[in-house]
Structure 1
Amino acid sequence: MNGYPVLSRLAEVSGFEQLQKLVRSHRTMVFCTASAAVLLPFAVRDYQLYLSYGPGGLPYNAFGWLLANTLRVFSREQLSPKPYDDNKLPFADESGYLPTGFLPRRESPRPKLGSHPVPQRQLEQLPSADVRQELIDRFKQLGEDATEKGLVEVKQSLYERQHKALFVPSARHQHAVAQQTRGEISHVHAGLDGSVHVVLHPVDCKTIFEQGWGQRHAFSGADLNPILPVNIPVNYLLIYAPRNQAEVDTVMSIVRAGVQFMTGTREALG
């Protein structure tokens, strides 16, 4: 047929027309195939990012990844201190638990966080293994000391399900905010991250924001029931991972303020 250009051209036209007919008759299949070709590389990178956080509150697999992406629609703004100016918040008319003027300004810009609302994790400014272990050990010691005083009990986090958390004991009075979290006060993300979730007094929350030490969870202030059995108060904050001894001291002071607020005591903690 190469010797007959006219016939070759007719064959090309005939083949193109057949292709047009195939596309028209299988539009849905063709659209899905083309979309998959475009989106697959993005999906693979996004899934790898999800796995890089380490295990968290959602299943550590493709189902958890799909659920995390689905939950993006419930994400809220996380960086403005304005919500803590609301005088209708519980205890807004009382003083906070962080000593006035105590919290230093954090010396770096806020770290970049993962794009998924859960698990909430830092992607940069991560601590060394030694600093992270120091934080974990100090957090554990605080739990033991506060348990001896009858202020907390230590058990598996309801939010993360991978880490031990401090709780207001069930036998102790739980105020409105503690009831929202089912008593959970704080937990450390003991993987590569080393950040901390803690519930704080509204005044202390505002101080945290102003001094650059943390931000809200994407679901703070949102009621996800009945989608998830989670009700996260606006006081629920992520505290950025400490990178040195001085920052471990600061983060632990924040956790102690959380324990005091959630247990309703101004007793000094170790």
Structure 2
Amino acid sequence: MAFSMDSSRVTRFFDDLRIPDLIVRHRGATLAALGLAVVAPFAIRDYQTFLSYGPGGLPHNVVGWLIANVMRLVAREQTSTLPYSDKSLYLSSRPGFLPPDFPPHRSSPRPQFGAHPVPQRQVTQLPDPETREKLIARFQALGEAAQAKGLVDIKQSLYERRHAALFVSSTRAWHPVAQRSRGEIAHVHAGLDGSIHVTLHPGDCKKVIEAAWGQRHGLAGVGSRKIPGSLPVNYVLVYAPRDEAELDIVLAVVRASVAFMAGLEGPLE
């Protein structure tokens, strides 16, 4: 009996509210509430995915997540080599710095990436911690050797803001691609994935992408070449190496990046 009485009171309460009338009078608020109820679970999962990449160039919080989602609206496809057919690209009429028939075609399918263009992070086919540490050590040794030759400076990445990067030495002339990238040549993502961002000769970009060793950054080539710091189309991510043989290949790509960006006539010795 008590239950029947409580139920009737609840029924009268909602009748008194005149829910249909309220919905009609506050249609905008109602739609917004319904939209939020539908979108909220997806937004929470998307935010958790963003955090799972680890710290990068954007703030590792809600602000960074919102910026990353705005960037999704302008991000481009990443595996076509058509952009490198543009004859106006710097040094496009000259051979690149990678050897002929190099790199060999990668044996695995391309790894999967997070949905956000920034930070660009590989989420499958990750290296073990030992391989990642070897990569970081060899990348650092390569950079120090190039620095000793007056080719590069080593400092914090302008794009990642958390990793050391190689830059064209301030003592050298900077060609147009170096100017657009603010001198940044390459950096390793020293977190979980161990992938590498490099800036390459157009012909070498094509080789790396065609051999399934990497893909362009989603924002590479977006915006005007006159905008300082915008990413050149030459800005490519090289997939994380998983063993010694793959380490040798990706470091050869880094050497080609240094040679191109430092304005060398031939390969980095």
Moved more, 32-41 or 90-99: 32-41
For 1:215, the equivalent position in structure 2 comes to 215
For 1:63, the equivalent position in structure 2 comes to 63
When residues 221 and 182 of structure 1 are mapped into structure 2, their CA distance, relative to the original with a 3 A threshold, is same
Q: How far apart are 1:81 and its partner, in Å?
A: 0.6
Distance 2:266 2:90 in 1: 20
Deviation digits for residues 13-71 of structure 1, max 9, x if unmatched? x8288110111122222222211111111011000000011111111100000010011
Q: Is the 8 A contact 1:223 1:230 kept in 2?
A: no
For 1:160, the equivalent position in structure 2 comes to 160
Structure 2 residue runs of 5 or longer lacking an equivalent are 3-7
Q: How does 1:7-46 map to 2 (within 5 A)?
A: 15=15, 18-46=18-46
Q: Is the 8 A contact 1:180 1:231 kept in 2?
A: yes
Runs of 4+ residues deviating >3 angstroms: 266-270
Structure 1 residue runs of 5 or longer lacking an equivalent are 3-7
Distance 1:18 1:229 in 2: 59
For 1:233, the equivalent position in structure 2 comes to 232
Moved more, 250-259 or 22-31: 22-31
Q: Is the 8 A contact 2:102 2:207 kept in 1?
A: no
For 1:257, the equivalent position in structure 2 comes to 256
Distance 1:95 1:44 in 2: 47
When residues 199 and 35 of structure 1 are mapped into structure 2, their CA distance, relative to the original with a 3 A threshold, is same
Q: Aligned to 2:46, what secondary structure does the other structure show? A: helix
Q: Aligned to 1:123, what secondary structure does the other structure show? A: coil
For 1:189, the equivalent position in structure 2 comes to 189
Q: Is the 8 A contact 2:87 2:93 kept in 1?
A: yes
Distance 1:135 1:267 in 2: 24
When residues 89 and 104 of structure 1 are mapped into structure 2, their CA distance, relative to the original with a 3 A threshold, is same
Q: How far apart are 1:269 and its partner, in Å?
A: 3.9
| TM-score, with structure 1 as normaliser | 0.91
For 1:5, the equivalent position in structure 2 comes to none
Moved more, 29-38 or 57-66: 29-38
Q: Is the 8 A contact 2:57 2:162 kept in 1?
A: yes
Give yes or no for the alignment of 1:96 onto 2:102: no
State the one-letter code of the partner of 1:246.
Answer: A
Q: How far apart are 1:266 and its partner, in Å?
A: 4.3
Distance 2:191 2:111 in 1: 17
Distance 1:168 1:49 in 2: 34
Distance 1:225 1:201 in 2: 16
For 2:176, the equivalent position in structure 1 comes to 176
For 2:117, the equivalent position in structure 1 comes to 117
Q: How far apart are 1:268 and its partner, in Å?
A: 4.9
Distance 1:20 1:102 in 2: 69
When residues 225 and 200 of structure 1 are mapped into structure 2, their CA distance, relative to the original with a 3 A threshold, is closer
Give yes or no for the alignment of 1:82 onto 2:78: no
Report the identity percentage. Answer: 54
State the one-letter code of the partner of 1:44.
Answer: I
Q: Aligned to 2:72, what secondary structure does the other structure show? A: helix
Give yes or no for the alignment of 1:202 onto 2:202: yes
State the one-letter code of the partner of 2:240.
Answer: A
Deviation digits for residues 105-136 of structure 1, max 9, x if unmatched? 10111111111110000110111001111100
Root mean square deviation of aligned Cα: 2.3
Q: Is the 8 A contact 2:180 2:225 kept in 1?
A: no
| TM-score, with structure 2 as normaliser | 0.92
Moved more, 33-42 or 193-202: 33-42
Q: How many residues end up aligned between the 2 structures? A: 263
Q: Is the 8 A contact 1:224 1:230 kept in 2?
A: no
